[in-house]
Copies of this chain bind each other. A is one copy, B any other.
Amino acid sequence: MQQISQADIAAMAPRYRVNFINSLSGFKSLNLVGTVNAAGQSNLAPFSSVVHLGADPALIGMVSRPDSVPRDTLNNILHTGWYSLNHVDADMLQQAHQCSARYPEQVSEFAATGLHEAYIEPCPAPLVAESPLSMLVEYKEHHRLSINNTILIVGQIHHVRLRDDVVRDSGYIDLEALGTLTCTGLDSYHRTQRISRLAYAKPDQPVREVDSSD
């Protein structure tokens, strides 16, 4: 076993620590967040912090870094009240990664990377036409962490667009069949291979598999 103490973490070079700590949470969701500003300029940014918050109402969260420097995505969400979340598959991976480059505010990442905008009423923010799964999200509330000014953005899911019919009988969406990718750290992208789906656990029953159609 390798042990890394708090003193070891404190002594890490800043860039090394960023890579190390970013790896610890485990595999991450990968979404492109589409927004638009007051002038109608579209913006597209990769986020690896999207997290489920509730099914009824259908709520989803994401973490924005502190707004001590301008954050186009956060500003646009607070101004328009809307954003889109778009899964990323292997065909659009390089374009999605390139959206993390610091383009000038007047350059749309759609134009810069060749990804295409799509629109669904009533959301003024663009979806990514190439994405296998897109959602329209309406801003609801945000929370600023006292400890480092990071911001949790909370939104309600209004509409879902899926490329293929991969919704199973139970309502489960087979994201692996859809080609959705996952990521680790700041720069690593992964496909997945299902091991199993396991039935609702009960104290007095052994673990069992779910039917593949369910």
A interface residues, Cβ below 8 angstroms from B: 1-6, 9, 12-31, 48-61, 63, 85, 87, 90, 93-94, 97-104, 107, 112, 120, 133, 135, 140-141, 143, 145-148, 150, 152, 154, 156-165, 167-168, 170-173, 175-176, 180-182, 184-203, 207, 210
Whether A147 lies near B140 (C-beta < 8 A) is: yes
Whether A16 lies near B193 (C-beta < 8 A) is: no
Whether B148 lies near A172 (C-beta < 8 A) is: no
Task: Decide: A200 near B187, CB < 8 A? Known: A16-B170, A165-B2.
Answer: yes
Distance between A165 CB and nearest chain B CB, rounded to angstroms? 6
Q: For A192, what are the chain B residues with a Cβ–Cβ distance below 8 Å?
A: 27, 182, 190-193
Bound form: Cα–Cα A158–B141 in Å: 30
Whether B101 lies near A162 (C-beta < 8 A) is: no
